[in-house]
Amino acid sequence: MSLQFSRSMRVLQLDSFRAARIGLLLAALNMAILVIWFFTAKVTLYEVSTEIALGDNDRIIASFPKESLARVRVGQPAWLRVDLGAEQPSLKLPALVYEIQRDQNKVVFVVLANESPVNYLAEKPSGQVEVEVEYITPAELVLRTSGKLLNRNQIPLSPQTLETRD
């Protein structure tokens, strides 16, 4: 019985496994880059308002849940997203936290853009405000979500709050 050429000793001696070594090196390099990213990249966490209204002096007043309001501070950057309707894309304007009214669960924002939001919010305000509350690494996010990093506020996996579970 004859031996197939692909299983012969001559083929094994001539094969240098160069492609496999290069592939293994590229995979190890890719894995090292991903591990470095996992521990050093910064992810922005936002708190999102439930509703917005137009206040005095072109200021925006946004309502937040109590849990979210605890993380909002004066001077934090934010984004005002105004819905302009189905035929137009939403408008995104930079804003800044101006004042916090904790007893009413409301935050007052100053819009930093050159254009005034009065034109867009004149009839019925529709949109939301996203406040940048924290920058963390993906590793911290995973540990906090799993409950291993207990010295900080935990991020809930469920969008339901304790009040809505009853």
At 2-21, the pLDDT tens digits run 656 666 777 767 777 788 88
> Where residue 84 falls among pLDDT bands split at 50, 70, 90?
confident
Tell me the CA end-to-end span of the chain in Å, nearest whole number: 77
pLDDT higher for 88 or 103?
A: 103
The string of pLDDT tens digits covering residues 121-153 is 666 667 888 999 888 999 988 888 877 665 655
d(C-alpha 68, C-alpha 48), whole Å: 8
Q: What residues are paired with 135 via a beta bridge?
A: 44
pLDDT at 160 over 60: no
The string of pLDDT tens digits covering residues 27-68 is 999 999 999 999 999 999 898 888 888 877 778 888 888 888
d(C-alpha 37, C-alpha 144), whole Å: 18
**The CA-based dihedral angle spanning residues 149, 153, 156, 160, taken in that order and rounded to the nearest 10 degrees:** 160
Token pair of 94 as six digits? 């930079």
The candidate with the shortest Cα–Cα distance to 55, out of 101, 113, 86, is: 101
Burial of 141 (0-12, 13-18, 19+ CB in 10 A): middle
pLDDT at 162 over 60: no
Upper half-sphere CA count for residue 22 (Cβ side, 13 Å): 4
pLDDT at 166 over 50: no
d(C-alpha 53, C-alpha 60), whole Å: 6
d(C-alpha 4, C-alpha 8), whole Å: 7
